[in-house]
Structure 1
Amino acid sequence: MKKVLLAALALLLPFTAQAAPPFTFTEDKVVAKQKIYFDQTNSTQGELYCGCHWTWAGKSGGRIDFASCGYQTRSQQNRAERVEWEHIVPAWIFGHQRQGWQNGGRKNCVADDPVFRAMEADLYNLYPSVGEVNGDRSNFQYGMVAGAGSQYGQCNTKVDFAGRAAEPRDEVKGLTARVTFYMYDRYNLSMSRQQQQLLTAWDKQFPVTPWEKERDNRIATVMGHHNPFVTDERKWTLGYKPVGEGIVSPIPTRTPQPINTTNVSSTSSSVAIMGNKSSHIYHLPVGCPSYDKVSPKNQVAFGSEAEAQAAGYRKAGNCK
């Protein structure tokens, strides 16, 4: 009984340190590794598209174990070997429904569109995957792919390059459908009738799995809300009208609290560390001359250097 309690406590502990949802895609990947998929490298479901096992490498990367899933490289060996983070609903797709993308592409959206940044950093939409399949899927919509044969050995995901469609393996069709419903619902996106018909069919054919429920609970601990299409609070039907509760302006920022820097060392946990979301560099209030020069729209505060580093930030080079 004691071992069971300790195991449950260990599972909960990684979530308690997360004070707010990630604000950037870079931060998102680190949080996803540390708090969502940290123990999934050798799990039954594996990564998204092929069910492969992997080993972690670096802050948010990993190396694919081909033997665990019978994977065979199609054309990109280096990319096939690495774990990449797939947006289940591609940034290209949701970005093209934002005016900022029309005015300057993804870079412009990241800089000026708080709703795009929220979508790009939404943990529900992120999943580790084989890099080659992630690249081949590109920004294609999901669809039924006929006649593709075996493109990646024993991996059952198929990509129709000419038809610009991707069909994931059966084991994750339900999950990808419910994540897609969530993204379109939360951010008030427009989905084609054909895509709705396909995904509602997958939703019915492939019900929520125990892992999908566990994933939802883990992400909810960080994001502060569940995917209502996993918890059965909502059901997507043809012609569904999105709620749009994720439309925010601006995205809340981590505002530093007033602090007294007198006799406070740069390693003290009470010091507010100022990060720059654009450069992913952080500054200390003592010894870093650029601490108060970060543009307000790029400011993100951390409680410690360790927290900043865990989010993928590095200390400014001009700090003494």
Structure 2
Amino acid sequence: MGELHFIKYRLMLYKLFSASSIVLLSIIFSPAFAQPDDFSQAKVIAKNDVYFDRMQKGTLYCGCSFEFKGRSGGVIDLDSCGYKVRKNTKRAQRLEWEHIVPASNFGKARQCWQNGGRKNCSKNDPVFSLMEADLYNLAPAVGEVNGDRSNFNFNQVQTNQKYYGQCDFKVDFKQRAVEPRDEVKGMIARTYFYMHDRYQFPMSKQQEKLFIAWDKKFPVSSWERERALRIAKVMNHNNPFVVGEKQWKEGDRSKLLKAKLPEAAHETGALHGNKRSKKYHLAEGCPSYNQVSTKNLVLFKSEKEAITAGYSKAGNCK
């Protein structure tokens, strides 16, 4: 199976297997098991393995210093970057983890989004959870700026209004557009290329044109390269647009297929186990193969694996 197919398969196994099977799965899928399974885990890993020494001038949009607090949060030093609070002092002082490509952008390509938005996707769609937890798409940000950015598109913003003091982050609330400081434009462009290429969801022609320009004008920095290396050790794959394995070309957006990844409910070809009945079903010859509810679904790679886990073949299998 393809790399994305395999990762999704691993993720579903991790979420659905009982605690007693975790040791076995760790052996089967090591070292890929180090990848975060959800957004909460991703924030902790980003703190401990990626940004552990980047607390000085380390926030994405403003270059503010911060101090980590708690499991994955932090406190912003507003004076370090000349930040001026626009409206929300409490949130301005809080470190938050920004999805550079907003969750709504890739979430809308999933059926779960149509049936309940982000909350439903995070709860019921392991593929969305994988996308939401992708470390290449996460960066520390001033909470207020993160909130104001919302899911606005990046663009060239024509305004002299400075909402955040010396923080060079432009917002056009009416047009729902933002423009970051030059230092991170290239990184943002290559993050968009990575996310759209890896997860195969559409990109607008306007965004493609903008990011191609930013990618060309703002080459990979030493920190962007180091960041990518650190993330690759956890994710077990590179951002090819950072390390030079790929280059986005105009028109690549037209090749993207909406929602190319399969939905998470069932995985064709795998054995379907029912953790309630402790029965497993083969893809061929078992009438109930696609009738196991998602909440009870357990996937196995072979009958031997299912039997070792305490499952027996369903009685209606031919």
Q: 2:140 aligns with which of 128, 134, 156?
A: 128
Residues 205-262 of structure 1, C-alpha deviations (whole Å, 9 max, x = no match): 1000000000000000000001000011111112113599x947659xxxxxxxxxxx
Q: How does 1:28-67 map to 2 (within 5 A)?
A: 28-43=42-57, 46-67=58-79
| Structure 1: tracts of 5 or more residues without a match | 1-15, 252-294, 300-320
Task: Give a deviation string over 1:165-190, Cα, whole Å, max 9, x none.
Answer: 11111100000000011000000010
1:76 paired with 2:67, answer no
Contact 1:48 1:172 in 2 (8 A): yes
Matches within 5 A, 1:73-152: 73-152=85-164
**Corresponding residue for 1:174?**
186
Give aligned pairs, total: 239
Structure richer in helix, relative to its length:
2
Q: Which runs of 5+ in 2 are unaligned?
A: 1-29, 266-294, 300-318
Amino acid at match of 1:221: K
Pair 136,114 (structure 1): closer, same or farther in 2 beyond 3 Å: same
Tell me what 1:229 maps to. 241
Q: Give matches, 1:300-315, under 5 Å.
A: none
Distance 1:81 1:204 in 2: 34
Question: Cα offset for 1:80?
Answer: 0.3
Q: What's the secondary structure of 1:190's corresponding residue?
A: coil
**Among residues 9, 16, 36, which one is paired with 1:22 in the alignment?**
36
In 2, Cα distance between equivalents of 1:170 and 1:297: 47
Tell me the SS of whatever aligns to 2:116: helix
d(CA) in 2 for partners of 1:70, 1:18:
41
Matched residue type, 1:138: S
| Corresponding position of 1:312 | none
Larger Rg: 2
Structure 2 Cα separation of the partners of residues 114 and 186 of structure 1: 16
2:201 counterpart of 1:189: yes
With structure 2 as the length reference, what TM-score do the two structures score?
Answer: 0.71
Tell me if 1:153 matches 2:165.
Answer: yes
The C-alpha deviation readout for 1:52-72, integer Å capped at 9, x for no partner, is 000111111111111211110
Percentage identity across paired residues of the two chains = 55
1:204 aligns with 2:216: yes
**Secondary structure in 2 matching 1:233:** coil
Q: Contact 1:148/1:159 (CA < 8 Å) preserved in 2?
A: no
Letter of the 2:62 counterpart: C
